[in-house]
Amino acid sequence: MINSTLGIQSWCFRGLKGTPEIIAALNACGVDRLEACGIHIDLDRPAESLKLYRDAGITISSFGVNFFGPDEAANRKVFEFAALAGFPAISADLNYDSLDLVEKLCAEYGKKVAIHNHGRRHALGTVRELEALFNRSSANVGLCLDTGWMLDSGEDPLAVAKKFRDRLYGVHIKDFVFDRAGNAEDVISGTGVLALDGFAHYLADSKFDGYLTLEYEGEPENPVPNLQACVKNINAAFAR
């Protein structure tokens, strides 16, 4: 049994006008969790943003993907929002120059950061690079495993999930197909390269308890129909 409930990355709703539309879209998808990105949360007024979702029965499961740089005040706003919203791990990117600062804030706020791998061109996009980071950091720094972008890096998402099991704080379920040049295209979960059933079975068997997020970037002006299909396929994979 899995200890997580499926949410949707709010970037999927970037073409919608505002919070009421996002809430309606989540309801249409049968999902009540949202991994919020920066365009949908005002970190200068986080309580107001959070209240709109909470009043609609929506749980904010994480925030990001947030890049942590050298600006402590900006980084602290993100951790303060995590504390206010109550989620344990922040979807993140960083460079080594910011690692000590991030570690300090994790310890201060009792939160973790989950590095989102973003493909072969990303500085932290491969197993080798993630392993090097984790060897230099405490367990407060872990992984938000994006299945699609890990495929882009030439890695098996299931093998990566097993390798970093103790540092797996979040998952983005994304599915890709690739053209002959290796360019990726989003497709409905379970219809592309991702072996969704096997991946879902592993998360369930290992009692994964991090945040579980669907991310599908197609059709930003009308994302709901394909997101509904993704949700259906993901739920079916976990049920089998």
- What is the model's pLDDT at position 17? 82
CATH class of 6-239: alpha beta
Q: What's the whole-model pTM score?
A: 0.97
Taking a C-beta distance cutoff of 8 angstroms, is the pair 175, 194 a contact?
Answer: yes
Structural domain spans, the chain: 6-239
Q: What is the 3-state secondary structure (H, E, C) of 113-175?
A: EEEECCCCCCCCCCHHHHHHHHHHCCCCEEEEEEHHHHHHCCCCHHHHHHHCHHHEEEEEECE
Beta-carbon neighbour count of residue 114 at 10 Å?
25
- Phi (first) and psi of residue 181, to 5 degrees: -85, -5
- What is the model's pLDDT at position 2? 64
Taking a C-beta distance cutoff of 8 angstroms, is the pair 226, 219 a contact?
Answer: yes
pLDDT tens sequence for the chain (240 residues): 566 799 999 999 999 988 999 999 999 999 999 999 999 999 999 999 899 999 999 999 999 999 999 999 999 999 999 999 999 999 999 999 999 999 999 999 999 999 999 999 999 999 999 999 999 999 999 999 999 999 999 999 999 999 999 999 999 999 999 999 999 999 999 999 999 999 999 999 999 999 999 999 999 999 999 999 999 999 999 998
Helices (H), 14-85: 19-29, 46-55, 72-85
3-class DSSP state of 215: coil
Measured between alpha carbons, how far is 56 from 58 in angstroms, rounded to an integer? Answer: 6
